[in-house]
Amino acid sequence: MQFTIILAARTDQFWIDRHNQLITQTVQHKADEQIIFVGDSITQMWEYIGRVVWDKYYAPRHAYNYGISADRTENVVYRIRDKEFDGLHPKVAVLMIGTNNIGNSPKSTVEDTVHGIREVLTELIAKLPDTKFILTSNMPRTEPLGSLCKQVNELIVKFADNKTVFYQDLWTPYVFPNGTQKVELFGDGLHPNEKGYEVWQQTMAPLLDKLDPAH
């Protein structure tokens, strides 16, 4: 089945301001950026809910945040094509995206969400050809959307070639053995709380250290 590439700017002022802020961040810090995190609100909230963890583990490694709350895959494709990542040469890029395609109106199918994630990854690889990518799963969320996100995760695993793209499971650490969400790691059933961000850092540390050993 052939898919068209979907990209879309958002028209809300919050998004416009944040997008321009991230372009400025790139212009000012491109030579310093060794690790970048790309995504939606779960990524952006490293800046406040996860700030203590970020400042301890990521800021010393020259990590920069490219999360925009409520973004969908098509919004990130637009951002990639509109200067946010121009001239960057990070060692590692961490990508988590897709939960808003599943959860926010207009809701996407699992298939279309997986296609959108593939497009984001394809665009990022083309823009950052020397970078290693950590593609993370989407995190658990309250039902009925959680089971759809799990289906997405099961399909995007195949995007990892373990040469350029590496998959990081961020589902399993956030659920009990029976599959139910560990609500104590979340503030609202979707976004991690500070402990949830600690779990992200701890879970991803071995892979990140493998891809960025000289820190």
Residue 209 scores a pLDDT above 50 = yes
Q: How far is Cα 100 from Cα 124, in angstroms, rounded to an integer? A: 19
For residue 114, how many other CB atoms are within 10 A of its CB? 22
Average predicted confidence (pLDDT) for the chain: 96
What's the maximum distance between 2 C-alpha atoms anywhere in the chain?
Answer: 47
User: Partners of 93 in the beta sheet?
Assistant: 36, 133
Residue 39 scores a pLDDT above 50 = yes
- Boundaries of every domain in the chain: 30-211
pLDDT band at 4 (very low <50, low <70, confident <90, very high): low
* Nearest alpha carbon to residue 92 among 164, 42, 29: 164
Contact yes or no for 171/139 (Cβ under 8 A): yes
Residue 139 vs residues 29, 48, 57, 146, 148: alpha-carbon distances, Å:
29, 19, 21, 8, 11
- In this predicted structure, what is the pLDDT of residue 51? 98
For residue 8, how many other CB atoms are within 10 A of its CB? 12
Tens digit of each residue's pLDDT (9 = 90 or more) over 170-188: 999 999 999 999 999 999 9
* Domain 30-211, second-level architecture: 3-Layer(aba) Sandwich (3.40)
Residue 1 scores a pLDDT above 90 = no
What backbone phi and psi angles, to 5 degrees, belong to 37? -110, 125
Span 18-31, average pLDDT: 98
- In this predicted structure, what is the pLDDT of residue 215? 60
Residue 64 vs residues 7, 43, 67: alpha-carbon distances, Å:
23, 11, 9
User: Residues near 48 by Cβ (< 8 Å), separated by ≥ 6?
Assistant: none
Tens digit of each residue's pLDDT (9 = 90 or more) over 82-131: 999 999 999 999 999 999 999 999 999 999 999 999 999 999 999 999 99
Tens digit of each residue's pLDDT (9 = 90 or more) over 121-160: 999 999 999 999 999 999 999 999 999 999 999 999 999 9
pLDDT band at 6 (very low <50, low <70, confident <90, very high): confident
Q: Strands 35-39 and 63-67, how do they pair?
A: parallel
- In this predicted structure, what is the pLDDT of residue 3? 52
Q: What is the pTM of this model?
A: 0.97
pLDDT band at 5 (very low <50, low <70, confident <90, very high): confident
Q: How far is Cα 70 from Cα 15, in angstroms, rounded to an integer? A: 9
